[in-house]
Amino acid sequence: MSDDLYGADLMALARDGRHAAPPATTPPPEDLVEVRADNPLCGDRVLLFAQREGQDGLATLTHRVRGCAVCKAATTLVCAAIPANRTRLDALEAEVRAMLDGGPVPPTFSPLAPAARHASRHACVLLPFEALRRVWAEG
């Protein structure tokens, strides 16, 4: 694992468009939940667009991010994981928080491991989790 915060894997995730939301000109589905989370310290903004499945599940999860590469990469990973329910979200967030505190690195989040040494970037990594919590709060 590289000590470089902006390593090649992180930058590739930041550019990854697989989970990007469609353009705003596309009419949204009726059951779309849209939430926003902001980091006022650095200006990062995460918009999540989700379609719920049952009481605790998500059928789709896409995003638009205005922010740094760390925030973009973290949001891509969270959308790729689509935590199936709130319990899984809690577990995944706990694993990522532990990583940021110097603990074990969840395998899929290894490109973000160098952020553990940069306290100012912890909020960037955690912002998509805050947004995802708001998705469930909307329902």
Please give the residue that has the higher pLDDT: either 3 or 89: 89
Rounded-to-integer distance, Cα 11 and Cα 132, Å: 22
Query: What CATH number has the domain spanning 8-138?
Result: 3.90.1010.10
- Predicted confidence at residue 1, as pLDDT, reads 42
Query: Mean pLDDT in the chain?
Result: 90
Q: Which of 19, 8, 12 lies closest to 80 in space, CA to CA?
A: 19
Q: DSSP class of residue 20?
A: B
Angle formed at CA 135 by CA 58 and CA 109, multiple of 5 degrees: 70
Beta strands in the chain (DSSP E): 32-38, 45-53, 57-66
For 42-77, the pLDDT digits (tens) are 999 999 999 888 777 888 899 999 999 999 999 999
pLDDT higher at 95 or 80: 95
Contacts of 99-107 with CB under 8 Å at 24 or more apart are: 100/125, 100/126, 105/1
Q: Which has the higher per-residue pLDDT, 2 or 116? A: 116
pTM: 0.90
Q: Name the residue ranges covered by the structural domains of the chain.
A: 8-138
